[in-house]
Structure 1
């Protein structure tokens, strides 16, 4: 299998979180055609993201997509078997390495002991019987003679392991190579099929569009659609001022981050199980993204009343009475929102105060420089110098800066506070008007 290791650059992460929702919002506002037709652009996107599963064929209603599925499953099975074979190879190779090191360590000792034994015996023969020299020489001879059998035993056992493991190791390596080649051949087969389909997609889209017939809806379907449209309240109907419109925009903006998560986790699954190269950034980037999404969408959920609550006593009340209840309970809300905003501000400054390299931003966050001094000494090297990593960063290999997430907490608290002010103004108007 080809190497598919890839680490997402930090700048690409932030650009994607900003640019993708803007593009998605523009596309979502396009007028929808009265008759649904297949699009070559969407077909190519599906080919790029899910072509290995034949999803582009299913999108175009082609049963040939089922040809891709067993080949893809073969890749997964082959990679699984290769992983098991790799484990067996690793275990056998470790035993072989230990045996080789034993032979490398004990064989010179054994040869040296045998040579030394001859010299010691000669010295013992020359020594006077019963003398101190003779006793010392005898001790040396006894010690060397006792060590030789032990060394010979270790060398024999290690050599036996080498002889015993040689053939199983070769078989395990051959098994691993077989499954690796099987996965590689299946992968390149899918690549060839995808390239062929990339050429055929314009014609496939044309043929799929030719099969479309205008469907006539029954009176029951029309009535159901009309009832759903009347019961559903559009988000735009909640907007009464600029704060509401800001909350709606932020809520829609971060909603498209969920689509990014689909692509990222799909990439992680393919990288891990098809190419055997799991990423070191997918999980961290997504749970950080979902944390920011939760904070930013708080004001939107408050505006559209999407929060889960028990309103068995609240729901039957009239609008003015609801306004009185909301005003009374808003005290607790503003305590929470103010605390969130204040503590988030402290967290954000603390995150930027972490000194990593020569950073004027960290000096400002720690209070060593004032804001104007920080602006006067700030230049592009604060962004481009690899030795400067101002602010808190994560502890894993990706090392993404964490201080932007802390500032998103500030943004979320501020938006929530603004939405609370908007809600209070609406409640006051409802009480004043009596409706």
Structure 2
């Protein structure tokens, strides 16, 4: 009886399933240190502004840029360790075989979704990185400091969505192979 209950337990493993997921996980753990940097520069801005009455022109945009890029990277990071959003009310009560079919459906929808979003992000990158005549000119913020952060964030969105598309493809292949192996046993 115990084995039956154990075999029905959902697989919520937090381990990357392939080389790409392992690389995303490793890089993501390193990038997470940038949150500390963001807090440090934000603290620096508060001290400079309210203690020394000498506000900076770069901290707010830099902190927003880093936070935005890290947030976007979080999507592929969560997918790499199987921590994406799912309806566990249904997922946890179905059999392992049904769970695998739900995963296949999820990966197919993820491929479709990330493919369409990648295409839209590519259009955004084209508009923010190139002039109508094809010259490279990164879109800037328009502030006094005027960094190219808007163009770089759009590039990050495109890159992560493209990686996510590959992740979904690899996960789909792994899930189909797992279903095949289970059917042959």
TM range (shorter): 0.7 to 0.9
2:23 aligned residue: 246
1:326 aligned residue: 103
Q: Secondary structure at the match of 1:317?
A: coil
CA–CA separation in structure 2 for the residues paired with 1:285 and 1:240: 34
Q: Secondary structure at the match of 1:363?
A: coil
Larger radius of gyration: 1
CA–CA separation in structure 2 for the residues paired with 1:426 and 1:317: 20
1:419 aligns with 2:167: yes
1:258 aligns with 2:35: yes
CA–CA separation in structure 2 for the residues paired with 1:316 and 1:429: 23
Q: Which runs of 5+ in 1 are unaligned?
A: 1-232, 356-361, 366-389
CA–CA separation in structure 2 for the residues paired with 1:298 and 1:334: 14
Question: Which residue of 79, 104, 122 maps to 1:302?
Answer: 79
1:347 aligned residue: 124
Higher relative contact order (CA 8 A, sep 6+): 2
**What is the TM-score when the length of structure 2 is the normalising length?**
0.82
Question: Which residue of 363, 385, 396 maps to 2:134?
Answer: 363
For residues 200-222 of structure 1, the C-alpha deviation after alignment (integer angstroms, 9 at most, x for no partner) is xxxxxxxxxxxxxxxxxxxxxxx
Q: How many residues align?
A: 171
Q: How does 1:396-435 map to 2 (within 5 A)?
A: 396-401=143-148, 402-434=150-182
Q: CA RMSD in A?
A: 2.3
Asked if 2 retains the 8 angstrom alpha-carbon contact of 1:320 and 1:427, the reply is no
**What is the TM-score when the length of structure 1 is the normalising length?**
0.37
For residues 125-183 of structure 1, the C-alpha deviation after alignment (integer angstroms, 9 at most, x for no partner) is xxxxxxxxxxxxxxxxxxxxxxxxxxxxxxxxxxxxxxxxxxxxxxxxxxxxxxxxxxx
Question: Which residue of 140, 148, 157 maps to 1:393?
Answer: 140
For residues 293-320 of structure 1, the C-alpha deviation after alignment (integer angstroms, 9 at most, x for no partner) is 1222211101223234331111123333
How far has the Cα of 1:364 moved from its partner?
Answer: 4.1
CA–CA separation in structure 2 for the residues paired with 1:256 and 1:414: 24
For residues 225-261 of structure 1, the C-alpha deviation after alignment (integer angstroms, 9 at most, x for no partner) is xxxxxxxx995xx233222122212322332221111
Q: Secondary structure at the match of 1:313?
A: helix
CA–CA separation in structure 1 for the residues paired with 2:96 and 2:173: 14
Change (3 A) 1:272 1:364: closer
Asked if 2 retains the 8 angstrom alpha-carbon contact of 1:341 and 1:410, the reply is yes
CA–CA separation in structure 2 for the residues paired with 1:278 and 1:307: 39
Q: Which runs of 5+ in 2 are unaligned?
A: 1-11
CA–CA separation in structure 1 for the residues paired with 2:27 and 2:152: 17
Q: How does 1:27-426 map to 2 (within 5 A)?
A: 238-354=15-131, 363-364=134-135, 390-401=137-148, 402-426=150-174
Change (3 A) 1:248 1:341: same
2:5 aligned residue: none
Asked if 2 retains the 8 angstrom alpha-carbon contact of 1:391 and 1:403, the reply is yes
